[in-house]
Structure formats: structure tokens, C-alpha cells
């Protein structure tokens, strides 16, 4: 009943938002309004999926989709705030849909206790239910090459061709070496798309949209993907808007069960937008300055390199996690990785303060586990967002990290900060537990370690 009521109100709110188009007074309002229309569509899709009796799913799946629905509505509001038009528009689209979804999250709550395993899978994960990717090899369906030697010259053309395929099996697009200056969107109907490049620094997708240039953060992404089951390997995703253009996203993923292998994400503020759903990053490089890994997905980074760059305001924050509800099963887990200075930061490292993260939203949740933290990390470790906001309600954890920046003696004393000493507690944030990796990652052929 709660889900159906949330669906009914979301559809009503979507209609109201659509009617606001004629009231938009300028391009900024139109940009934020267009984001909201798109985000309401995604929200309705997720709630529909949760109530559909023909969709095989666990309570964890439903909690993921409802968490995403709530994140979408928060992103809608955020766009108006970023562009400075919230005072006029927000009262016109405010509604109780977020409260209804929050209530449903509470009713469906999944406790993050250590799950019981059977045959290598948590008991709440049904491996047969999520076999999205059937092909064992990435033999390309089509090839993109700038020189015209293959099927298409641009990635966007290849995505358009993929949208006309029949079925939802894995569809592999090989993108040959080259620098592709285009903004790419992979929509909800494009499931199980795989982009295979020729390697980091060889296949490059680059754009330059930014909030400073008039875009919302949501729409600034060089590549944006929401179709479920997305995989990328051997690609550099780049946003060249620069350090003074504010938020400028290289990649945004709202793709459930998406995986990125040996990819690079290059930007400054807000480089990698792990917007929502369940995501996995393996052996990837992430470059940035302010909040450069941010969003409200349930996401694990494993064996990745996180490079802090030289920021314009002498302060770096690696993460800004966006959990707005304590029942959302979301957070950022960084496991067995390295946090080091990029080449442009090294000469001025002593004059720059670099923090592991700051709480973008009330229930921000981020953990660093078995990760090398170099000397660039400030002894306090974590930075407030504004005053005492979220310091009691966040969950920030560190477990068995190494390196000169891992010393915990002078860490923050917030109620929500935890020095994790228990392997049982730390294991809640592993690939196997946090994103149910055993039930879907084998089908991607991306290597992973399920436990600590």
C-alpha cells in the first residue's frame, strides 16, 4: 500500500512539474526543470519495478531501488539550488513524495548484519535472479573508430544503433584509440551495454560542461549512464572544464549493477558522480580536487588509485557521500586502494589540506579499508561540511589502513566517526556484502575480491 501510494503521488508530482515548464523565466530554471522531469521519470520506473509482481527481486533489490528513487528527488532539488533559482521554483514542485518513499524504505528496512552464506552467496541474494550478462567474451557487436575504418565515427552514433537492437543481452561496443569530444548518454532502455576501449590514455571521451558554464551538476557529465548492467573497460573519462569552473562531472552512473575496470576518471571538482544504485570499480584511477568522488550509490572501489590534484582554494576533499535517509543502503567503500598526490599537487603539497571526505548530506557514509594513505592526508582526516551539520548522524570509518596519512591519533572526535577494529564490522562494506557482488559480478568478467 505504501509503495502504491508513493507511485500515485510521484506520478501526480511529475504532472505538476511538467506543467511548470511554461513558468520558467530563464535558461537556468529551464535546465533545472528539465533535470527534474528526467529524474521523476527514473523515480517512477524504480517504484514501478518495486511493485511489479512479475519482477523477481529480493528485499535488498527493493531497498536499492527505493534508495535511488529518493536520491533522484533530492538531485532534482539540488539542481535548482546550484543555479540559484530554488526560492522561486521549489515551492511550486514541493510535495510529500520524498516522505512517502522514506516511509516505505523504513517498512522494507534491510539490516546490515553479517549475512548467512550458502554456496558462497548471502542468503538474501539469489544468483539466478540477476544473470544480466550471458556472453563470456567481449567480442564486439560494433566498432567505433574516428578514421572511418569501422562501423561508426562517434560513440553517440554507436549508442543510437544499440538502441535499435532486439533483446537485452550484452551488447559490446569497441571504441578504438582516439580522443572523442562528445557528451554521451546511455538511457534506461539501454541495458547491458559494454564499452571496451584500447586502454587508459588511449581511448579518451572528453567534454567540458560545468556548473560554472551554466549546466547543472547532473547534466555536466561527459558520459552519463542509467541503463542497468553497464560495463566499461580501458577508457579514460574526462571533463576539461578546469579547476575554477565548479562542479564538472567526467562520468555519472545511475546504472544498477554497473562495473568499471581499468578506467580513468579525470576532472577537478565532482569528477566521478556515483549517483545511485549498485556499482563496482576495479583498478581504476580517479583524479580531482573537491568532492571528486560523490553521490549516493552503494559503491565499492577496489585496487584503485585516487589522485588529489592542486586545488584553487588550497583544500581537497576526496569524497562527499549523499545519503539523506538512514534506511538507504548506500555508501562509499574504498578497499585495498591508494590515495596519493597527483603530479601537479606534489610540489605544493605542504600548503594544501587534503581530507578523506566531508558530509554532503545528513547520513553521509564512507569507509576506507586496507588502503594506503600517503602523507598528503590532513591529520584530522575528515572535514566538516558546515558547522556541526551531520557530525552525529554520519558514518565515517577507517579500518587497517597504512601509510603516513593513516595515523589516527589526531583524527576528528565526531560521534559519527569510527576507528573500525573489528573484521566483522569492516566486512559489512566488502564487495560480497555491501553490493552483493557474488551474485552479479561473475557475469561481468571483472575480477573482484569478495571479502576483506
Residues 6+ apart with CB under 8 A from 81: none
- Helix pair angle (2-19, 27-51), 10° resolution: 160
Give the per-residue SS3 of 185-225.
EECCCCCCEEEECCCCCCEEEEECCCCCCCCCCHHHCCEEE
CB 190 within 8 A of CB 158: no
Residue 157, classed as helix, strand or coil, is helix
Q: How many whole angstroms separate alpha carbon 99 and alpha carbon 70?
A: 9
Query: Comparing C-alpha atoms, which of 135, 133, 115 is closest to residue 125?
Result: 115
Q: How many whole angstroms separate alpha carbon 414 and alpha carbon 411?
A: 9
Other Cβ atoms less than 10 A from the Cβ of 403: the count is 16
Q: Bin 106: left if φ > 0, else alpha if -120 < ψ < 50, else beta.
A: alpha
Could you list the beta-strand ranges (E) of 289-373: 290-295, 298-302, 305-308, 315-321, 331-335, 338-341, 353-357, 365-369, 372-373
Please give the C-alpha separations between residue 347 and each of 50, 342, 352, 356, in angstroms, as whole numbers: 51, 10, 10, 20
Q: Which residues are catalytic?
A: 291
Q: How many whole angstroms separate alpha carbon 284 and alpha carbon 294?
A: 16
Residues 6+ apart with CB under 8 A from 187: 163, 226, 227
Please give the C-alpha separations between residue 67 and each of 95, 174, 276, 410, in angstroms, as whole numbers: 18, 33, 8, 34
Q: Let me know how long the chain is.
A: 452
Task: Provide the 8-state DSSP code for 228.
Answer: T
Amino acid at each position: 500500500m505504501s509503495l502504491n501510494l508513493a507511485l500515485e503521488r510521484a506520478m501526480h508530482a511529475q504532472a505538476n512539474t511538467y506543467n511548470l515548464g511554461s513558468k520558467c523565466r530563464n535558461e537556468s530554471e529551464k535546465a533545472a526543470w528539465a533535470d527534474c522531469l528526467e529524474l521523476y521519470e527514473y523515480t517512477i520506473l524504480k517504484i514501478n519495478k518495486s511493485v511489479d509482481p512479475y519482477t523477481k527481486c529480493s528485499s535488498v533489490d527493493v531497498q536499492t531501488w527505493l534508495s535511488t528513487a529518493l536520491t533522484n528527488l533530492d538531485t532534482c532539488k539540488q539542481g535548482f539550488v546550484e543555479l540559484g533559482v530554488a526560492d522561486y521554483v521549489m515551492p511550486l514542485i514541493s510535495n510529500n513524495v520524498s516522505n512517502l518513499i522514506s516511509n516505505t524504505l523504513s517498512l522494507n528496512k534491510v539490516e546490515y548484519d553479517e549475512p548467512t552464506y550458502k554456496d558462497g552467496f548471502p542468503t538474501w541474494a539469489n544468483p539466478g535472479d540477476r544473470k544480466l550478462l550471458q556472453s563470456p567474451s567481449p567480442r564486439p557487436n560494433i566498432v567505433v573508430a574516428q578514421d572511418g575504418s569501422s562501423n561508426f565515427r562517434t560513440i553517440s552514433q554507436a549508442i543510437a544503433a544499440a538502441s535499435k537492437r532486439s533483446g537485452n543481452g550484452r551488447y559490446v561496443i569497441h571504441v578504438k584509440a582516439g580522443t572523442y569530444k562528445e557528451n554521451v548518454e546511455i538511457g534506461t532502455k539501454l541495458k547491458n551495454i559494454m564499452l571496451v576501449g584500447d586502454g587508459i590514455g588511449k581511448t579518451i571521451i572528453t567534454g567540458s560542461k560545468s556548473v560554472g558554464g551554466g549546466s547543472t551538476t547532473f547534466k555536466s557529465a561527459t558520459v552519463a549512464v542509467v541503463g542497468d548492467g553497464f560495463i566499461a573497460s580501458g577508457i579514460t573519462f574526462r571533463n576539461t572544464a578546469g579547476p575554477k569552473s565548479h562542479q564538472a562531472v567526467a562520468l555519472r552512473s545511475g546504472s544498477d549493477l554497473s562495473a568499471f575496470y581499468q578506467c580513468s576518471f579525470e576532472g577537478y571538482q565532482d569528477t566521478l558522480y556515483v549517483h545511485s544504485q549498485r556499482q563496482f570499480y576495479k583498478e581504476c584511477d580517479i583524479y580531482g580536487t573537491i568532492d571528486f568522488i560523490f553521490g549516493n550509490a552503494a559503491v565499492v572501489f577496489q585496487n584503485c588509485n585516487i589522485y588529489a590534484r592542486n586545488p584553487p582554494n588550497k583544500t581537497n576533499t576526496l569524497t562527499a557521500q549523499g545519503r539523506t535517509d538512514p534506511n538507504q543502503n548506500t555508501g562509499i567503500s574504498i578497499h585495498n586502494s591508494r590515495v596519493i598526490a597527483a603530479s601537479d599537487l606534489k610540489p605544493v603539497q605542504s600548503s594544501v589540506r587534503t581530507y578523506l571526505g566531508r558530509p554532503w548530506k545528513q547520513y553521509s557514509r564512507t569507509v576506507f579499508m586496507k588502503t594506503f594513505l600517503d602523507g598528503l592526508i590532513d591529520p584530522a582526516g575528515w572535514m566538516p561540511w558546515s558547522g556541526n551539520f551531520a557530525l552525529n548522524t554520519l558514518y565515517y570509518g577507517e579500518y587497517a589502513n597504512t601509510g603516513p596519512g593513516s595515523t589516527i591519533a589526531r583524527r576528528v572526535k565526531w560521534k559519527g566517526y569510527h576507528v573500525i577494529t573489528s573484521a566483522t564490522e569492516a566486512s559489512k562494506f566488502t564487495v560480497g556484502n555491501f553490493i552483493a557482488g557474488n551474485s552479479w559480478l561473475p557475469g561481468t568478467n571483472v575480477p573482484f575480491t569478495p571479502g576483506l
